Amino acid sequence: MRLFQITPPWNNTGDNPYPWVDSADGLFEPADIFRLQPLVQDWSVPHLITSASSPNLDAYCCPSGLYLFSPMARDVLAPAIDNSAEWLPAEIDGLGEFYILHPLRSCSLGPAAQFVRNPVSGNITQIEKYDFQETELQTAAIFYPAQTPGSAAHAVGSCFRALISTEPSALLWNRAGLRGVRFEPLANAVE
C-alpha cells in the first residue's frame, strides 16, 4: 500500500513559500489535539491569523504541526478519509472558515521501522524508515504513527506528529489541483 505524508509545500531550498496560520500569540496548539479521542463535541472555534499577506490557498499549515483545509478541500478529501478523522472548525482572519484535520486513528510501527528515541522519555523523535502494521492500515485512511509502548507519550495516548495518508486521499487532492500542502510519497517506507 502506498503511503503519503502531508507536508507544507517546501521549495528546493527547504523554505515554505506560503504563510503559516497561527494564533495571535504564536502558540496555537489546542489541548489533546495530538491524541486520538474526538474533540468536536466540546470544540471552541479558534480565531487564527496568517503570518503574511496570504494567497488564496486551499490549505494552510500551523507551526504546531496542524493542517487547516478550506470547505472545498474538506469536501474533496472527505470521501477518502471517511471516519479516520474529524474536521474541527476554525476561523482565519480575512479568509473565513477553515477546518483542522484531526485524525482519530494511529498505526503502530512495524518490525522493519527504524527510528530514534529520546533517551529519557523513550518517545520517538525521528522516524528514519517507515513500516506499519498491515492490519491497522486496513482501517486508517489518515493517521498519526503511534508512539511505541513504554514511552511517556504512548502512556498518555499521544502520537508522533507526522500526518500520514493512504493513496486515495493523495489522488483526490492532486486531481483537484488544490494548493497549500503536499501529499509526499513516503520515500523511506518499507514496501
pLDDT score at 172: 94
pLDDT higher than 70, residue 63: yes
* Cα angle 6-102-155, degrees, rounded to a multiple of 5: 100
For the cut 70, the answer to whether the pLDDT of residue 156 exceeds it is yes
C-alpha cell at 79: 470521501
Alpha-carbon gap, residue 14 to 77, rounded angstroms: 26
Displacement of CA 40 from its chain's centroid (Å): 17
**Alpha helix segments (H runs only) across 82-139:** 134-137
pLDDT bucket at 142, cuts 50 / 70 / 90: very high
Say whether pLDDT at 188 is over 80: no
In this prediction the pTM is 0.89
Beta bridge partners of 126: 116
What mean pLDDT do residues 139-153 have? 88
pLDDT tens, 101-113?
999 998 988 889 9
- Long-range pairs of 52-56 with CB within 8 A, sequence gap ≥ 24: 52/19, 53/19, 54/18, 54/19, 54/94, 54/95, 55/18, 55/179, 56/95
CA distance 27 to 126: 23
Predicted pLDDT at 138: 83
Amino acid residing at 185: P
**Selection from 26-35, 68-77, 110-119, 143-152 with the highest mean pLDDT:** 68-77
* Residue 17 pLDDT exceeds 70: no
- In terms of Cβ atoms closer than 10 Å to its own Cβ (0-12, 13-18, 19+), residue 162 is middle
Looking at residue 85, what is its pLDDT?
95
DSSP code of residue 99: E
